[in-house]
Amino acid sequence: DGTYEEGEVIYVNASAKLGYQFKGWSKTENGEIISNSNYYSFKIYEDTTLYANFIKLDTRHISVSCSTGRGSVIVTGGGIPPTGINSEGLDIPTGSEITLVAMPKEGCSVAGWYDNAEFKGEPLSTGNSYSLTVENDIDLYVKFKKDGATDYKLKVDCDEGGTTNGATTGEYEDNSYIFVVAYADDGYEFAGWSEYKGGPIIHDRYTYDFRISKDTTLYANFKKVPEYTINLIKRVEINLYEGAF
């Protein structure tokens, strides 16, 4: 906006936000398009209004979560300038061919890209970058590890009669904080944690936390709550009196 001398050359430029596409310039809102170029120049001879028109594209939501303080991730490709992406995610046009690039901090490296927060199964990629075509909403997880650090395997299992929550079966970096919780079903009670089914109890509280320093198996043991039958007998007292009937 501003005031210009007659005949002065005016230059304007429109930039679409992520998830939108520039449609063109018009002199009225939703009016006839006079130029579909982002860059538009003309000589001004009258009071003029220009509207930049945009179209909202079909998009999918892409998010990337990563180890706190160990690195970050940017997304590029598909006409997208290098842009930071995190767990809040971005709406990216469907069909875009994008590349996600992990940038580990000094002393750290990429251990893998996963489709689950527990880093279960084989990684989608173990490189610093991961490319894909946007077709569906996706939540990705990058595992950064300290250079030279050792990973240990954790297995969490349980008896029938209950479930566990918290840390799950997977690999964890040396000295990682592990927290597990056991929940008994109706009719059962928690009997303690052991290293295998029916093994000696190593922890008797339903919550258990520790720093992992070796391959570890945790087994949550449950037992049925005893059932007792109570029989009620009704006592009836009869009083007899002497007398005439």
Residue 233 has pLDDT above 80, yes or no: no
pLDDT in tens, 163-207: 999 988 888 888 889 999 999 999 999 999 999 988 999 999 999
Three-state secondary structure of the chain: CCCCCCCCEEEEECCCCCCEEEEEEECCCCCCEEECCCEEEEECCCCCCCEEEEEECCEEEEEEEECCCCEEEEEEECCEEEEECCCCCEEEECCCEEEEEEEECCCEEEEEEECCCCCCCCCCECCCEEEEECCCCEEEEEEEEECCCCEEEEEEEECCCEEEEECCCEEEECCCEEEEEEEECCCEEEEEEECCCCCCCCECCCEEEEECCCCEEEEEEEEECCCCCCCCCCCCCCCCCCCCC
- pLDDT value of position 203: 95
Q: How far is residue 93's CA from residue 98's CA, in Å, rounded to a whole number?
A: 10
Q: What is the pTM of this model?
A: 0.64
* pLDDT surpassing 90 at residue 69: no
Q: Give the C-alpha distances (Å, rounded to integers) separating 87 from 12, 133, 146.
A: 35, 19, 21
Q: Kindly list the distances between the CA atom of residue 138 and the CA atoms of 60, 83, 142, 154, in Å, as whole numbers in the listed order.
A: 8, 17, 13, 27
Residue 214 pLDDT more than 90? yes
